Amino acid sequence: MGVNSYSDEYSSTIPPARLFKALILDSHNLIPKLMPLAIQSIEISGSQVKFIKNRGDELDEKNFWFKYSLIEGDGMMDKLEKITYEVKFESTTDGGSINKMTSTYYTKGDFVLTEEEIKAGKEKALAMYKVVEA
C-alpha cells in the first residue's frame, strides 16, 4: 500500500464561519440545492461516479476544521483503500478566508495516482467551493 498526500489552498471573500457552515455542517442540505444537476441528496449523477460513502473522522467547529474519509464508492475505489481529507478554514485580514485542504490517498498494491487524476479531484472540489461562494 502506498500513501501520497497533496495540499492545496483556496482564497475566498466569504468569512470562514460561513463557508464552514455551508460546506461542512450544512452540506448535506445545501449542496444538492446549489448543484441539483450534479448532486442529488449527496448522490452524484452525470459523471463516472455514481456512489461514494464518506465517514466523518474529526470535527472542530470552533476552529473550522474537519477531517473525513472517503471509504466506499465506485470509480477508483478498486485501486484505493481510502482517501482522507483534512479541511481548515482560516480568517484573512480583509474579512475573507483561506481554505486549506490536504488529501491523503491510500492506494492498494503498487497503484500510483497520475497528475491527471489528482487534478480532476482538485477541480471538482474547487467547483463546489465556487458554487457555494456565489
Per-residue pLDDT of the chain (134 residues; tens, 9 = 90+): 788 888 989 899 999 999 888 877 766 565 555 544 544 444 444 555 566 777 889 999 999 999 988 888 776 667 888 989 999 999 999 999 999 999 998 999 888 888 888 887 777 777 766 766 76
Cα four-point dihedral sign 9, 79, 36, 61: negative
Q: Look at residue 17 in the predicted model and tell me its pLDDT.
A: 94
Q: Look at residue 114 in the predicted model and tell me its pLDDT.
A: 85
Domain ranges of the chain: 2-133
Q: Look at residue 23 in the predicted model and tell me its pLDDT.
A: 78
What would be the CATH architecture of the domain defined by 2-133?
Answer: 2-Layer Sandwich (3.30)
Global model pTM greater than 0.95:
no
Q: Which three cell numbers stand for residue 116?
A: 491527471
- Please check whether residue 43 is in contact with residue 28, taking contact to mean a CB–CB distance below 8 angstroms: no
